[in-house]
Amino acid sequence: MKNQILKPFLFILSLSFLSFGCVEDSEKDEPTDSNLDREVLLANWADSFIIPGYERFDQKFQVLKTEAGDFQQEPTTQSLQDLREALKAAYISWQEVEMFEVGPAEQVTLRNFFNIYPADIEGITSNISQESYNLNLPASYSRQGFPALDYLINGVAAEEGDVLAFYLDESEGQQRLDYLMTLVGRMNELLSQVLVSWKSGYREQFISKTGLDIGSSTGGMVNAFTLYYERHVRTGKIGIPSGATIATGGNVNPDKIESFYYPSISRELAITANRASMDFFSGKSSTGTGASFKSYLNGIEAKDPSTGTLLSSDVLAQFELVQNKLNALNPNLKDQISTDNSAMIEVHTEMQKLVRMLKVDMSSAMSITITYTDNDGD
């Protein structure tokens, strides 16, 4: 009799616990603020920035590939000019995707094969003269990619006629043309590998890793974004050429600017990189404004530790300040360094403030561990 009385009571009690457990799990799964829904954040990064960014870059690169093929078939003044314009457009477009060194790009270390400068001219010359060489080795990074193409298209001679003579030379002209096409073909293969991977499964994998731990997509993107701006925008484009970094000992290095053999676009490359970084931070894409670092930081009410204002506002204000200082530079950074290097130093100083905001303040507010180290002493 006692068991018959207890059975209904135990059944009701068990339903209560089950119901409580379901409510608790439901509350855990549903973010209380849409700005904190990391699945939405990751989806917007993939669908509004990374995949379409690579697609736009691929369009520019395919033009470069076509023009390179035309030049190989018939080196003329017109085909050389067309190739130079295609290289310029692709190099500028690259600035909008170089920051996305996560997932497929990280696996193949895309940046190492696309944009390590200055170019190793001696190594390029050696590769051309040899029948076999290995472009996978770290020593070969600066013998390929955009810096090597910059040299081969813009730097082998000052005059167009001499550039054409370089490729029409009876002894090595064909080998030089073949090496040019080898570099373009290799870049095309790596780019295709990255883009196909994103569009055939990695997108879903990226969006599914919604944690904040090491190995999560948000953690990986914070590290990739911050490392890119610190090491490849601040230091690579400005710090090393201007001698602003401690590692340079204050010595200027105009020979280490990006696009050294076509320096008239060197400032444009830096401006594009800074603008692309700012747009990614704020979530501003070609399709509108979506979930971003800015919206996430606002969602957790992250404040600047020194001013008490919204951290996202201070970061964007600093991006704008850097952009204004970049706009004021000479379009040719080599000329800027030789005429008024102090302006370059000022840009580096403001970029350094921005690095601190991203690497320290933003990562701390988001509870993200920075897993890379920068050893230039800044």
List the domain boundaries for the chain. 35-208, 211-378
Which residues, at least 6 apart from 112, have a Cβ–Cβ distance to it below 8 Å?
138, 141
Tokens of residue 81, six digits:
């000019």
Compute the residue count for the chain. 378
Which residues, at least 6 apart from 299, have a Cβ–Cβ distance to it below 8 Å?
33, 34, 35, 36
Tell me if 256 sits within 8 A of 147, measured CB to CB: no
Q: What pLDDT shows up at residue 307?
A: 85
Backbone angles phi, psi at 310, to 5 degrees: -60, 130
Q: What pLDDT shows up at residue 53?
A: 98
Q: Rounded to the nearest 10 degrees, how much is the dihedral formed by the CA atoms of 216, 220, 226, 230? A: 150
Q: What pLDDT shows up at residue 375?
A: 60
Tell me if 277 sits within 8 A of 373, measured CB to CB: no
Q: Which long-range contacts (CB under 8 A, 24 or more apart) does 233-238 make?
A: 233/270, 233/273, 233/274, 233/277, 233/351, 234/348, 234/351, 234/352, 234/354, 234/355, 235/374, 235/376, 235/378, 236/117, 237/266, 237/269, 237/270, 237/273, 238/270, 238/344, 238/347, 238/348, 238/351
Question: What stretch of H or E contains 5?
Answer: helix 2-29
Q: What pLDDT shows up at residue 74?
A: 97
Q: How far, rounded to the nearest angstrom, does the alpha carbon of residue 336 sit from its chain's CA centroid? A: 25
Q: What pLDDT shows up at residue 1?
A: 39
- What does the DSSP 8-state code read for residue 49? I
Tokens of residue 51, six digits:
């995949």
Per-residue pLDDT of the chain (378 residues; tens, 9 = 90+): 334 433 433 333 343 333 333 333 333 333 345 568 999 999 999 999 999 999 999 999 999 999 999 999 999 999 999 999 999 999 999 999 999 999 999 999 999 999 999 999 999 999 999 978 999 999 999 999 999 999 999 999 999 999 999 999 999 999 999 999 999 999 999 999 999 999 999 999 999 999 999 999 999 999 999 999 999 999 999 999 999 999 899 999 999 999 999 999 999 999 999 999 999 999 999 889 999 999 999 999 999 988 899 999 999 999 999 999 999 999 999 999 999 999 999 999 999 999 999 999 999 999 999 999 876 545
Residue 81: C-alpha distances to residues 140, 151, 159, 331 (Å): 27, 15, 12, 20
Q: Which amino acid is at 336?
A: Q
Tokens of residue 336, six digits:
């800027």
Q: Which of 265, 264, 242 is nearest to 255 (CA)?
A: 242
Tokens of residue 210, six digits:
């919604």
Domain 35-208 in this protein, CATH class: mainly alpha
Q: What pLDDT shows up at residue 75?
A: 98
Q: What pLDDT shows up at residue 11?
A: 36
Residue 315: C-alpha distances to residues 55, 74, 359 (Å): 28, 50, 11
* pTM of the predicted structure, to 2 decimals: 0.90
How many C-beta atoms lie closer than 10 Å to residue 56's C-beta?
Answer: 14
Q: What pLDDT shows up at residue 34?
A: 56
Q: What pLDDT shows up at residue 305?
A: 83
How many C-beta atoms lie closer than 10 Å to residue 270's C-beta?
Answer: 25
Q: Which amino acid is at 174?
A: Q
